[in-house]
Amino acid sequence: MSTSLINTKIQPFNATAYHNGDFVELSEKDVLGKWSIFFFYPADFTFVCPTELGDLADHYAQLQEMGVEVYSVSTDTHFTHKAWHDTSDTIGKITYPMIGDPTGRITRSFGVMIEEEGLALRGTFVMNPEGEIKVIETHDLGIGRSAKELVRKVQAAQYIATHDGEVCPASWQPGEETLAPSLDLVGKI
């Protein structure tokens, strides 16, 4: 059994990322003050990973407009991220930071390390501006994620963060009705 990380705060970290042609130093302090997504994937130069990272790159402008920063993370180094970025058309379109976590410290702190392989599961974590985890999605290695659905989840998390007493039902989209939990709704949905 594991303990859920929902509503816990991001753990301290220091890492180097490949971002827009440069190597940049990042820490948990860089995450605070805005919505963020940590998008863990097993390894560079693989098969499902580039499809996911490319899909996320295609939705990055929309996420930026929503005030969200994206950080992809694998246990590869920032040097490997640069090499992959320079040689793959799909990865070459990424403009969000690609964090290298060769020690696995960040990956372990989010609970997605496959210890016997030294790789991350496909783990997605959405954090609010206070650094609290609000959404967790974890997949087995062979199952790719959908950036479109991730955008919807972020929209729902942002909505409930600013609308006290409301909740978003399944498949909720911005502009649709929400629910206000009350005794009157029990058994009526």
Catalytic residue status for 49: yes
Q: Which of 97, 112, 105 is nearest to 145 (CA)?
A: 112
Q: 125 near 145, Cβ under 8 Å? A: no
Distance CA 107, CA 114 (A): 9
C-alpha distances (whole Å) from 26 to each of 21, 46, 78, 89, 156 are: 15, 25, 12, 25, 27
Phi, psi angles (nearest 5°) of residue 187:
80, 5
Which is the catalytic residue, given 15, 17, 31, 49? 49
Residues catalogued as catalytic: 49
